[in-house]
Amino acid sequence: MFDAEPPRRRDQKHIDSAIPASRRRSVDVARTALMVLALIAAVGYVYAQAPPPELTRPVNDFANVIDAESEAEIERRILALEQASGDIVVVATIDTFAPDADIRAYAVRMFENRGRGIGAKGKDNGVLILLAVKDRSVRVEVGYDVEEFITDGFSGEVSRDDMRPYFARGEYGPGLLAGATRIIARIAQGRGVTLTGVPQPANQVTPRVSGVSPWVVLAIIILIIMISNSGGGGRRSRMRRGPPYWGGGSWSGWNSGAGPFGGGGRSGGGGGGASW
C-alpha cells in the first residue's frame, strides 16, 4: 500500500504539533495586532497628508462648477461687505468631503484654513459656505462674532430655501450667489451698514448695541431694592460688596497669523446645511 499523504505535508503537521497551542495563539494575536496597527498608521498618514485645500480667494471653486458670471458677482458682493463692515464670507466648492464622515466635520477643518482661519485679524467674524458636489450637500459654517446674525436656523433656512433648489437643477453658480447674497445682506443689516448693489433681506435684524450689559442693569435694580429694604426698622445694616460685573464677556478670538483676508478666526461650531 502507498502512503496517501505527501511527506512534506506530514512533516509540517509534525512541526505544528511540536509548537505549544498557547504559543501559536500568542503568535496569531501579535500578527493580527501588527496588521491592525499598520492599517491605522496608513489611514492616519493619508488623512494627515490630505488637509482641505487652502482658501486664498473670496470664491474658491475647487470643483470647477461655478460659472464665470456668478463667480464675479459673488466676489464683488463679498468684497463690498468686507469693505463696509470688515466681516468675511468665503465660498468654496469641493468634489467630496471624504474621508471625513460628513460635510460638517470637513467644513470645520476647512474653516481652520491650515491654522490661519477665516475672518479679520483678531476677530471671529468669518463665514464659510461649502458645497460638496458629489455628496450633494451644502454647509454654512459660522464664526463666533457673526453667530448673532447668522444663526443655526437661518443657516439651515438659506441652505434649504435659497440654495438647494438651484443645486437640484445643477445650477451651482446661481445657487451659491443666492445663498451668499442673503448671508451678506443679513450681516450688513445687523451691522447697520449699507451695501450698494446687494439686495436687502426682508426680515429686520436688530444691530448689536455696544454699552451696558442688561445683567448690569438688573444687578443695579436688585442693589437699589436691597438698599431700600435695609433702611427700615431703625437698624443699621452692613452691605457686602457684590461682583463688579454680572454677565460674561465676549468670546476671545483665536489667531495664528495673517490669513488670506488679513486675519484669522475660528468657527463657533454653529451653522446649518442641506442635502438634495
Q: Identify the CATH number of the domain in which residue 194 sits.
A: 3.10.310.50
Q: Is the same domain home to 143 and 35?
A: no
Query: In this structure, are 35 and 151 located in the same domain?
Result: no
* Whole-number pLDDT of residue 237: 34
In a domain, 214, yes or no: no
**Looking at residue 226, what is its pLDDT?**
76
Digit-coded pLDDT (tens) for 232-275: 444 333 333 333 222 223 322 322 233 444 445 555 557 888 88
Closest CA to 79 of 232, 246, 195: 195
Task: Looking at the structure, tell me whether residues 195 and 168 fall in a common domain.
Answer: yes
Domain presence at residue 125: yes
Question: Domain check: are 42 and 119 in the same one?
Answer: no
Whole-number Å distance between alpha carbons of 179 and 96: 20
pLDDT of residue 32: 72
Q: What is the mean pLDDT of residues 152-159?
A: 96
As beta bridge partners, residue 89 has 127
Question: Does 7 fall in a domain?
Answer: no
pLDDT in the model for residue 96: 96
Residue 199 included in any domain: yes
**Residues 36 and 172 placed together within one structural domain of the fold:** no
Among 29-43, 77-91, 207-221, 222-236, the range of highest mean pLDDT: 77-91
Number of domains in the chain: 2
Q: With respect to residue 173, please indicate whether it lies within any of the assigned structural domains.
A: yes
- pLDDT tens digits along 180-203: 999 999 999 999 999 998 987 665
CB–CB of 263/120 below 8 Å? Answer: yes
30, 82: one domain:
no
Cα–Cα distances in angstroms (integers) from residue 212 to residues 155, 190, 243, 246, 249, in the given order: 29, 19, 15, 10, 12
Query: What pTM was computed for the model?
Result: 0.63
77 and 191 belong to one structural domain: yes
CB atoms within 10 A of CB 89: 29
144 and 33 co-located in one domain = no
Q: Are residues 37 and 110 in the same domain?
A: no
Rounded Cα distance between 95 and 61, Å, is 10
Grid cell locating 269: 461650531
Same domain, 136 and 88: yes
Structural domain range at position 266:
59-206+254-275
Cis (ω within 30 of 0) for the bond into 6? no
